[in-house]
Amino acid sequence: MLGFFKGYKYIGMTLAVLSVIIISIFYTILKPKAVLPIYQPAMVNYEMVDSTIQHQRKYHKIADFSLTNQNGQTITQDTYKDKIYVADFFFTTCQTICPIMTDHMAQIQKEIKNDNEVMLLSHTVTPEIDSVAQLKKYALKKGVIDNKWNLVTGDKKQIYQLARKSYLAVKTDGDGGPFDMIHTENFMLIDKKRQIRGFYDGTKAEDIERLLSDIAILKQEKS
């Protein structure tokens, strides 16, 4: 009699284990995949958005650009065609937030160095100081891998317009004139369609971890 019930006990345990496995499989299949938002100007703090596009709710993309990197090469939107990339704004003589931001960019570079889908783009906000030679010196100091990370200089007004009207990265005061100065801790995650998919505080380690997780999510999207 005891053997009879013992046999049922093992059958019950087996069924319970199978039930857990089946439920786990269904949960994995039915669980909705994480999706990153596509940021439009109307979704962002209005102080960070140029007045001409503050109410735009769709179709926002990073504008075409032409800048020069640490090797004297021309870098355009085509350099980042079909790439996911992280963008920021810095200057080589900054002694406050920029060293932290650059170290965090270097951390991201380490994580993506073997990933052909992901790149980095850092724009100097003091192009009058950050010449190609200065950027190269800085790149060597920071361990920049040339085919992963471009430090770019160029026309100040173009860079500032990109920051304010494309990346929505800074308050809109100023026009890129000689006394205009951008100082922002923002990192922006850009997808293969040149859309903003995330904003992160480049000085915070926890935001960098979130950014890396979001890159993984973005890589799962169909182009």
CA 31 to chain CA mean position, Å: 25
Residue ranges at the known binding site for Cu cation: 94, 98, 183
Which DSSP category does 166 fall into? Answer: I
CA 120 to CA 193: how far, in whole Å?
A: 16
pTM of the complete model? 0.84
Domain annotation covers residue 36: no
65 and 16 within one domain: no
CATH number, domain at 210?
3.40.30.10
Tokens standing for 54?
């503050």
131 and 96 within one domain: yes
CA 66 to CA 79: how far, in whole Å?
A: 10
Within 10 angstroms of residue 162's Cβ, the number of other Cβ atoms is 22
Tally the domains of the chain. Answer: 2
Query: Which residues is 188 bridged to in the sheet?
Result: 87, 199
Query: pLDDT 10s digit of each residue in the chain, 223 long?
Result: 555 445 555 565 555 555 555 554 544 454 457 899 999 999 998 888 888 898 999 999 999 999 999 999 999 999 999 999 999 999 999 999 999 999 999 999 999 999 999 999 999 999 999 999 999 999 999 999 999 999 999 999 999 999 999 999 987 666 677 767 888 999 999 999 999 999 999 999 999 999 999 999 999 997 6
Residue ranges at the known binding site: 94, 98, 183
Contact 102, 187 (CB under 8 A): no
CA 68 to CA 122: how far, in whole Å?
A: 11
Domain annotation covers residue 9: yes
Tokens standing for 222?
């169909």
CA 29 to chain CA mean position, Å: 28
